[in-house]
Amino acid sequence: MNSLRTGILMAAMTGLFLAVGFLLGGTGGMLIAFVIALGMNAFAYWNSDKMVLRMYRARQVDKTSAPALVGIVEQLATNAALPMPRVYVIDDDQPNAFATGRNPENAAVAATTGLLRRLSSEELAGVMAHELAHVKNRDTLTMTITATIAGAISMLANFGLFFGGSRNNPLGFIGVILIMVLAPMAAALVQMAISRTREYAADRMGAEICGQPLWLASALQKIDRAAQGIDNQVAESNPATAHMFIINPLHANQMDGLFTTHPRTANRIERLRQMAEEMGQTAPQTARPWG
């Protein structure tokens, strides 16, 4: 269901791009905007992992420097049939984590020191399983594609300002103004909806990877509560990276509405609890060693 919804949303984004391009720039303007946006996001796709890890001053760790964390990730990667990703730690008191990398062979997972201090090994396994689910689902590629189309729509809107729109626009200059304002906003809404859908999908797959939905549910509850009172200064300065984290690191709107990149945490926890009930689990279990 989540994959179907993502496909429908991406189709809607593509349809919006084609419609805006036809009305504002014609075929030529549409192609120019797409090529420029594709080039910009292709660069980001190949280099975003290095850029974001450097931005957050993440340090790579191994079994010697962080045996518990690396051991958990190694076990989960085996469970998920994934190559072992690079593992990083970020010196930040806000509990949070993210995954990055253009494909499973070039993936990295990062956890903050605040996360490592506050979670049990089982809860940490739930969080890392969620991040590996993003890797397995290739969500980095999905979000790069949507960013490319959203960027192209914004460029087309700018083209409309300079060129006055194409002859295909029946509303004339007023139509150009309306499209310039509404089209980028609509693209951003679809982009956020896709991000929220991928979070739900990663929650479910992450629970399957670690075998315990309630581990992740407990972790999300702790992270959300702690993150609300602790600033992540780097994220606040670079809000475009907020969608990468397991919990929104920004102190903004927490509602599960149109303008958020993350689902409401309570909704995620409820879904995980329902999943646990379906699996016959009523309490978190420690069936295997973690770290």
Determine whether 277 is an active site residue. no
What is the spatial distance between Cα 85 and Cα 88, in angstroms, rounded to a whole number?
10
Catalytic residue, chosen from 131, 199, 208, 236, is 131
What is the spatial distance between Cα 284 and Cα 5, in angstroms, rounded to a whole number?
30
Going across the sheet that includes 86-90, the strands are: 59-61, 86-90, 108-112, 97-100
**Which among 35, 42, 27 is positioned nearest to 152, based on CA atoms?**
35
What is the spatial distance between Cα 284 and Cα 221, in angstroms, rounded to a whole number?
14
What is the spatial distance between Cα 255 and Cα 269, in angstroms, rounded to a whole number?
15
Q: Which residues contact 131 (CB under 8 A, 6 or more apart)?
A: 97, 98, 99, 109, 202, 206, 246
Active site residues: 131
